[in-house]
Structures are given as structure tokens and as C-alpha cells.
Amino acid sequence: MLITKKIGIWMNHSIANIMEFKAGLINTITIESKHYQQEIKLETSINQSLSFLNEQHIQASYYKELEESIKDCKEVILFGPTYAKVKLYHELRNDDRFSKTKIGVTQAENMTVFEQQEFVVNHFSKHHFIQVIS
């Protein structure tokens, strides 16, 4: 019997809880974006441009770290309160490594870690017995 790796990711723009669903159990790890925090307001357009580029670089590395954590998955559900999940979805769809990965996206509010884990268990348990016969 082939066991597929199933991952649920609750995320926003700065934090992601990655939950692996295996044999009805959940293993959770957290990845945080290394947000560029600057206390001094930038006054020149050059500095603002550099700040914007730095923020883009930080966000890109956050998404790359998430991509690496799910590169061997067969099924992924992305959920959370912000647009970040949709942006990650589009990045995954543009990457050939994920061409055979089933990826779902759904809106979810802020949740406790327990609620996130319960969501993932319910999602994959509900879809667990569905088979496609060709």
C-alpha cells in the first residue's frame, strides 16, 4: 500500500504552521518569516525602494522555505485568513516540482493550533476514502 504524504498549512504573511497528517496523527512545525523591522522611518525614495526590495526578498525566502517543507507531498491544503495562501498556491503551480501535487486552498479565520490541527484531520479524513478508478 502506497502511503502519501499529506500536509495542511495554516498561514498568514508572517507565520505558517505546517501539519503533517499521517495515520490519523498530526505533527506540527512552525516557520516564521524574518520580517524586516525598521524603527527609523525612511525619508528618501531610494531608501524606500531598498526597503521594498528587502521586504520582497524576505517574503520570497519565506515562500521558498515553505516550498521546501512540502516538496515531497502528494496532497496539500493551504488555509488561513490572508492572501498569502493564494500567493503560495500560485508559486507552487508555477513550479514543475509540484505538478503532480494535489493542492487545495480555502479561507479560514485566525485559529488556535488545536483548531488548525482539527481542521487538517477533518479535511484529510473526509477525503481519505475517496478513490479515483480508471
Ranges of each domain in the chain:
6-127
C-alpha 112/C-alpha 110 separation (Å) is 7
β-pair type (6-11, 25-32): unpaired
Per-residue model confidence as pLDDT tens digits over 59-85: 788 889 999 989 889 999 999 999 999
Per-residue model confidence as pLDDT tens digits over 82-103: 999 999 999 999 999 999 999 9
Residue whose cell numbers read 531598498: 50
The domain defined by 6-127 folds into Nucleotidyltransferase; domain 5 (3.30.420)
| Across 19-23, 28-32, 35-39, least confident range | 35-39
Residue ranges with strand state E in the chain: 6-11, 15-22, 25-32, 75-80, 102-107
- pTM given for the model: 0.78
C-alpha 101/C-alpha 134 separation (Å) is 19
